[in-house]
């Protein structure tokens, strides 16, 4: 990978010559940089823009970038299908860092797992038997139009591998960066990260006027307008971007359909659960009624038992009285017998 040369060509070499590029365009962009094919083609065709973006993302000065190589350039005319679903940009920076840069618009609910998978794949780049000390720094950069669930709502974040208790960096050879375009609007971010803020605005721009205004404050963006004109005007590029946009819409429609089906199933399950709960409530009511009847019967039995116990007590008392009377009769008989004998 180190010896690969950047297959990035000069602007116009892959694209048919187009007239009128010096004209000042107005109105809506045919395709924005949120289209990941457009995003990758733009940075592939304009190395100055790629360098400027990486400098802004990694807080580098332009002179710190000695070389930057795209190792997976677009093959123009390639069909957009599931096999080309991932239009991330794989970079080698200064021959000692691997970077994976991607534009992710749809929130599929798996960003942490997705970014970690990409990062770990990059980190496992040593050849069999190669010294571990030769491992290069790897960085995954996600430019997102959403904030993942439970993540801080901030424009830019850098995650690294460190001690949870004291913040000690375990290694600086691994890291994840997130630029959350949906968090644009905080003036503090604009003051703290002016260059990166302008790039974020460029990615979200929907009109030529917005881009030209951004170019007034950023020379690299200003010089990039020509590249954007080439890309949006070239028929082959339009077909590629439209195919990618159509694929994205189809995937989103399928996802929505799946969500609707899941929602339908969920509602059916909730209905069945409500019916079961209602049945359980009715059964519980019946049980409560039966328990009430049982309690009443127990009370009746207790009362009868009390009556029986009372009757038994009275009967025992009478039996005792009879026995005493019988004894008295026997005594009297004995006395009578003795009297008759005398």
DSSP designation for 234: -
- Among 331, 118, 44, 60, smallest CA distance to 52 is for 60
Mean pLDDT, residues 4-8: 43
With tokens 């940075």, the residue in question is: 43
Helices within 74-165 (DSSP H only): 111-123
Q: How far apart are CA 233 and CA 229, in angstroms?
A: 6
Per-residue pLDDT tens digits for 130-183: 999 999 999 999 999 999 999 999 999 999 999 999 999 999 999 999 999 999
Query: Is 143:181 a contact under the CB 8 Å cutoff?
Result: yes
What is the CA angle 90-147-43, rounded to 5? 30
Instruction: Give the pLDDT confidence score for residue 13 in this predicted structure.
Output: 46
3-class secondary structure, 201: helix
Stated as kind and residue range, the H or E segment containing 335 is helix 235-341
Per-residue pLDDT tens digits for 226-254: 999 888 887 777 677 677 677 666 666 77
Please report which confidence band the pLDDT of residue 16 belongs to, taking 50, 70 and 90 as the band edges: very low
pLDDT over 50 (residue 307): yes
Q: Partners of 89 in the beta sheet?
A: 101
DSSP designation for 127: P
Per-residue pLDDT tens digits for 258-290: 667 777 788 888 888 888 888 888 898 899 889
pTM value > 0.75 = no
For 213, what's the count of Cα atoms within 13 Å in the CB-facing half-sphere?
Answer: 9
């Amino acid at each position: 990978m180190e010896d690969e040369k950047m297959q990035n060509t000069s602007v116009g070499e892959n694209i048919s010559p187009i007239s009128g590029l010096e004209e000042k365009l107005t109105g809506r962009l045919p395709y924005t940089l949120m289209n990941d094919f457009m995003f990758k083609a733009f940075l592939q065709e304009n190395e100055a823009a790629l360098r400027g973006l990486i400098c802004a993302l990694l807080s580098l000065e332009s002179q710190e970038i000695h070389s930057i190589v795209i190792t997976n350039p677009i093959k123009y005319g390639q069909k957009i299908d599931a096999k080309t679903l991932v239009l991330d940009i794989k970079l080698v920076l200064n021959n000692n860092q691997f970077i994976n840069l991607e534009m992710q618009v749809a929130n599929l609910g798996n960003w942490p797992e997705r970014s970690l998978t990409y990062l770990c794949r990059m980190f496992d780049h040593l050849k069999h038997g190669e010294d571990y000390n030769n491992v290069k720094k790897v960085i995954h950069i996600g430019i997102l139009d959403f904030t993942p669930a439970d993540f801080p709502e901030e424009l830019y974040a850098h995650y690294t591998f460190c001690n949870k208790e004291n913040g000690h960096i375990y290694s600086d050879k691994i890291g994840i960066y997130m630029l959350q375009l949906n968090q644009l609007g905080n003036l503090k971010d604009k003051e703290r990260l002016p260059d990166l803020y302008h790039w974020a605005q460029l990615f979200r721009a929907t009109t030529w006027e917005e881009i030209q205004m951004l170019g007034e404050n950023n020379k690299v963006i200003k010089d990039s307008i020509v590249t954007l004109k080439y890309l949006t005007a070239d028929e082959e590029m339009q077909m590629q971007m439209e195919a990618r946009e159509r694929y994205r819409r189809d995937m989103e429609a399928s996802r929505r359909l799946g969500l609707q089906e899941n929602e339908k199933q969920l509602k059916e399950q909730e209905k069945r659960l409500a019916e079961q709960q209602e049945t359980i409530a009715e059964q519980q009511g019946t049980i409560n009624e039966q328990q009430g009847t049982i309690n009443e019967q127990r009370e009746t039995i207790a009362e009868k038992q009390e009556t029986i116990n009372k009757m038994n007590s009275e009967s025992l008392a009478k039996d005792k009285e009879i026995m005493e009377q019988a004894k008295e009769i026997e005594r009297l008989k004995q006395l009578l017998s003795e009297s008759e004998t005398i």
